[in-house]
Structure formats: C-alpha cells, structure tokens
Amino acid sequence: MPPFSVLDLAPVPQGATPADALRNTLDLAQHAEQWGYNRYWLAEHHNMVGIASAATSIVICHVAGGTRTIRVGAGGIMLPNHAPMIVAEQFGTLEALFPGRIDLGVGRAPGTDQLTLRALRRDPSSADNFPQDVLELQALLGPLQPGQAIQAVPGTNSNVPIWILGSSLFGAQLAAMLGLPYAFASHFAPNALMQALQVYRERFQPSKQLDRPYAMVGVNVIAADTDEEARFLFTSAQQQFTNLFRGTRGQLQPPIDDIESYWTPAERAQASNMLSRSFVGSPETIRRGLENFIAETEADELMVASAIFDHAKRLRSYEILADMHKAMSRESALA
C-alpha cells in the first residue's frame, strides 16, 4: 500500500483571514503527523485571496517548526519566479534547521497570472529555462566542486531531495531524464495522467538521488461519515473551480445545497473534468475508489488535497482517510 501525504494551499475560507488559514495549516500538519501521513507539502500561488501559502518557504518553516517527524516541503516552488541561488539558500536553510525532513518540489508554471508575473519582476519567457534552472539548483544543493566560485550558504552539500512537478508530458520527460522523483498534478489537471506516468517510467534514467522511478499522484479526497455529507462538502471545491473559469477567484466559499443552481452546463463540464480525479463520499465509497485508482496508476505515493470550508470537517476527512490507509496497509501485509 503506497504512503499517503497531504497537499495544503493554506486555503482562506470566506470570512477568515490569512492568519486564520496559517493557524489551520499548522493544526492540520500536527494532526497529519499524528495520523501517520508521510509528508506535508505546501504550494506557491500569488495574487489569490483564497490562498495563504505564497511565501512558501516561510510557511514550510512554520509547519516544520511545529512538527517533529513528518517530512515537510514544497509542492511546489514555481522555479521560473525565482533565481535558483535564492531557492538553494532558502531550502538549504530549511534543511539546516530541520535536517532530513525537507523536500523541494519544483514546477515551471508561474502559479499566477501574467500581470502578477511581471510584478514578481520575472520575464514570461523564464519558464523556457526551467531544465537549466533545475540543473543549476541541483549543483547549488550538491557537493562543492573544485574551483566552484559561487555557493549557497546554507545549501551546498545539503542534498535536499528535488522533485519535478508536472501536469503534462514535459515534466515527465525531464524527471525521467534527470532521474528525479515525479509528482503529477492530477488533482486539477488529470487529462495526461496515464500517458505521463508511462513516459516517466519507460524513460527513467537512474541518478545519484534515485535508482528507480518514483511517481506520486495528486488526488482530491473529501471524506465524511456519509456520502451525502461528503457531496455537500465537495461543493466548496466545485464552486472554487467554477470561479476560475469566471475569472472571479476569491476565498473558499461555504458548501451549498444545490450546486446545479450555481454553475452552467458548460461550467459543470469544465469543472467536473478538472476534478475528475476526486474521491468523495463515506469511508466505504472512498476506499473503493482509491483501491481502483491505485491499481490503475500503480502510484508509489498519493498526495491528497482537500478543499473543505470548515476546518473541523477538513480534519475529519483526513482522519477518515488515515484510518482507511492503516486498515488497507494491514490487509495488504496479510495478503
């Protein structure tokens, strides 16, 4: 049974503040550690009033400082927004503070709109340099080489594990070529999932970091005691994705009784496609869906996102999933 991990965007529910969201993030991380989740990742997004994890390395420090054993990292840092030197220093510092617990997932999307990209002082063409930036980042986090004039302090020889994030074949090809672990964002971009996993596994070249392919797959899980309650909670995510198409990004909205009255048929089709790798329901319903999904993808790890408005309900969803994972792991060991 593959390990389960948590992906958190530090959502800001309607009527709450970023401070509230960050307190909830730490609380969820502490519970996730207690419940046996493998890692806790945070994602970089900018100019989004519903997401409080823009300063991702700082939030990682907040979470790592409030936990003891769970791995904490970025899922991910949007590398075109940053000089590799700065990322190496930030994550070298995190590794110095929390040795053996830090992950660095990197992606080539900006994590924002083009106007905000310019506010970040980055050229929109920066994404074209993503493979070179990954190699530079690897070198800065690796051992000091003879004659190397520039080094990240802290950072050099920290060997923070680098992951390639992706939602297309590009990331799969790069991760395979560099021999790095690969995380596919099927929790919001599921269409190329199976093809990307095939490309990654078939083309993988062993490296110093990794001797065999390791694929982590993103899913949405909204678990509750009943199917009806879970479907109700899921309407927050459905509204969130509908609002993306409307260009009205805002705070995470409370669930509603009738989602059909909220979206048009076209919006429903678009949002439902993006959310097609979502598992919503009671423990029995979630288990059936995840067992089929794991068999289909042969994922080495699942990274679970849960956009739930009420923090207590969000905790309960992850608790249900953790209990389910323990039961599935016991049965797998006995089989």
Would you state the pLDDT for residue 127? 76
The separation between the first and the last C-alpha atoms of the chain, rounded to the nearest angstrom, is 11
pLDDT at 121: 65
Three-state DSSP class for residue 99: coil
Question: How confident is the prediction for the chain on average, in pLDDT?
Answer: 95
SS (H, E, C) 230-279: HHHHHHHHHHHHHHHHHCCCCCECCCCCCHHHCCCHHHHHHHHHHCCCEE
pTM: 0.96
Q: 1-160, what's its fold? A: TIM Barrel (3.20.20)
Per domain, the residue ranges of the chain are 1-160, 216-335
pLDDT for the residue numbered 125: 73
pLDDT in tens, 170-228: 999 999 999 999 999 999 999 999 999 999 999 999 999 999 999 999 999 999 999 99
The total of other beta-carbon atoms located within 10 Å of residue 93's CB is 18
Give just the sign of the alpha carbon dihedral 318, 323, 328, 330: positive
Give the H or E element holding residue 332.
helix 311-334
Query: pLDDT category, 111, cuts 50, 70, 90?
Result: low
* Structure confidence at residue 114 (pLDDT): 74
Is 11 within 8 Å of 323 (Cβ atoms)?
no
Are 1-160 and 216-335 equal in CATH topology? yes
Specify the higher pLDDT residue, 335 or 266: 266
- DSSP label of 124: G
Mean pLDDT of 130-151: 96
> Can you tell me the mean pLDDT for 7-17?
97
Closest CA to 320 of 295, 284, 276: 284
In this prediction, residue 126 carries a pLDDT of 74
Give dist(CA 166, CA 50) in Å, integer: 22
Confidence tier at 122 by pLDDT (50, 70, 90): low
Spatial CB neighbours of 9, under 8 Å, sequence gap ≥ 6: 42, 43, 45, 51, 52, 53, 305, 307
C-alpha separations of 98 from 5, 6, 45, 114, 300 in Å:
18, 19, 24, 34, 25
**Residue 123 clears pLDDT 80, i.e. is over it:** no
Other residues' Cβ atoms within 10 Å of the Cβ of residue 96 = 13
Q: Is the pLDDT of residue 66 over 70?
A: yes
Residue percentage of the chain with pLDDT more than 70? 98
Cα–Cα distance between 227 and 236 in angstroms, integer? 15
* CATH no. of 216-335: 3.20.20.30
Whether residue 107 contacts residue 78, with contact meaning beta carbons closer than 8 Å, is answered with yes
Residue type, 81: N
pLDDT in tens, 37-46: 999 999 999 9
Give pLDDT, residue 115. Answer: 74
pLDDT at 113 over 80: no
pLDDT (tens digit, 9 = 90+) per residue, 259-311?
999 999 999 999 999 999 999 999 999 999 999 999 999 999 999 999 999 99
CB 26 within 8 A of CB 34: no
